[in-house]
Amino acid sequence: MHRLFLLRGRPLRLLPIRIGGSHRVAVFCKRDVTTMKQNFSAFKNIGWAASVFLCLLALLVGLAFAAFTPYSGPIVRGGVQLDAAPATPAPTADPMAQVGGSGELVTLGETDDAGQSYIDSLTFLCDSSMIGIRDYAILGEQGSMQIWGTSAGNLSVADLPSCTIRYPGDGSEISPVDAAMVAKPARLVIFLGSDGAMLTDEETFVRNYSDMIRAIREVSPYTLVICCSASSVANSYAGSDGLTPNVITTVNQWIRRVAAETGSYFADTASAVDDKANWLIGDYASSNGKSLNSLGINQVLSYLRTHAVQ
């Protein structure tokens, strides 16, 4: 039986214990027992705190190691996904590398017929002279996904810094550069120059056209760019914009300069629809005397098939 005593006002518990065959009495102060429990609890808390600290320290060391150790694996970047048909894969190698622009003009020469599959690999940026390729559905419904142009159809080089095109994927209005960033076209064929030709000068024309090409290359570096000559107007043309064969000849000189300075290819597609006097052949002209009709557009496509970038 345990007995309780008071020692100087403090309760004592006498506990019998057996030592060497005889009984002894162990005296414990209740306050001392409480103190021992508190000390044990304190040591336990210190142990938990030390464990948490060591875990946090290990985490910080791991983060520091990851931050300062270069990653050698593949990099996956996010991108904008619009509701569009899959872009034609860009070529991984360029047989005639477009690098910067050495000032030397590279004109596409005649080749074997590359076939319809080549036309299917092209994306077209068009002004009003060639926009019929979209409006007449020359390439069919699926092929219309390859054609970039404004909603109205006309596109002046003077307006390139701020213009938007109707993106065929979802009908949104975005810049040609943003369209290239999304679509990553393998080959971009550009028909610009006749719209608003009298409203700009050579330096502005070359700067705006060249800046657009360079910006496209920044967001889509594997895109091959083909600058096409501007087709002329029919001799019956009565437009108020002042276009004549002489004006178009000058514009085509500017386009050649753009191609040379940006390292782009030059395709003389106008030679397929203009006569020797540089008038647009009447059979290829639409009713306005400037835009190409379906016959003229197909003539240009045939030229591209036989002057191909492989």
Domain holding 120: CATH number? Answer: 3.40.50.1110
For residues 117-131, give the mean pLDDT: 97
Indicate the residue among 36, 65, 94 that finishes a domain. Answer: 65
Q: Is residue 53 part of a domain?
A: yes
56 and 116 part of one domain: no
Indicate the residue among 15, 43, 65 that finishes a domain. Answer: 65
115 and 48 part of one domain: no
Task: Name the residue range of residue 266's domain.
Answer: 106-305
Give me the helix-helix angle, 245-262 and 202-219, nearest 10°.
40
The mean pLDDT of the chain is 82
Indicate the residue among 14, 35, 65 that finishes a domain. Answer: 65
Q: Is residue 80 part of a domain?
A: no
Q: pTM of the prediction?
A: 0.70
Residue 227 reports pLDDT greater than 60: yes
Of the segments 28-37, 80-89, 98-107, 164-173, which one has the largest average pLDDT value? 164-173
Best CA proximity match to 170, nearest among 183, 161, 159: 183
Asked if 16 contacts 7 with a C-beta cutoff of 8 angstroms, the reply is no
pLDDT level of residue 90 (50, 70, 90 thresholds): very low
114 and 57 part of one domain: no
44 and 162 part of one domain: no
187 and 258 part of one domain: yes
Best CA proximity match to 279, nearest among 237, 218, 224, 222: 237
48 and 122 part of one domain: no
42 and 164 part of one domain: no
Q: Is residue 48 part of a domain?
A: yes
pLDDT level of residue 4 (50, 70, 90 thresholds): very low
Percent of the chain with pLDDT over 90: 65
User: Burial of 302 by CB count in 10 Å (0-12 exposed, 13-18 middle, 19+ buried)?
Assistant: middle
Q: Is residue 210 part of a domain?
A: yes
Buried b vs exposed e over 26-63: b needs ≥16 C-beta within 10 Å?
Answer: eeeeeeeeeeeeeeeeeeeeeeeeeeeeeeeeeeeeee
Q: Is residue 249 part of a domain?
A: yes
Q: Is residue 95 part of a domain?
A: no
177 and 293 part of one domain: yes
Q: Is 265 helix (H, G, I), strand (E, B) or coil?
A: strand
133 and 19 part of one domain: no
Q: Is residue 252 part of a domain?
A: yes
Q: Is residue 254 part of a domain?
A: yes
What's the pLDDT score for residue 124? 98
Structural domain count, the chain: 2
Could you read off the pLDDT of 34-72 as tens digits, one per residue? Answer: 555 565 566 666 766 777 777 777 776 666 655 555 544
Residues 6+ apart with CB under 8 A from 272: 299, 300, 302, 303
56 and 193 part of one domain: no
Percent of the chain with pLDDT over 70: 71
212 and 117 part of one domain: yes
54 and 111 part of one domain: no
Best CA proximity match to 211, nearest among 231, 197, 183, 192: 192
Best CA proximity match to 223, nearest among 263, 181, 188: 188
Best CA proximity match to 286, nearest among 236, 251, 252, 218: 236
Could you read off the pLDDT of 94-114 as tens digits, one per residue? Answer: 444 454 456 899 999 999 999
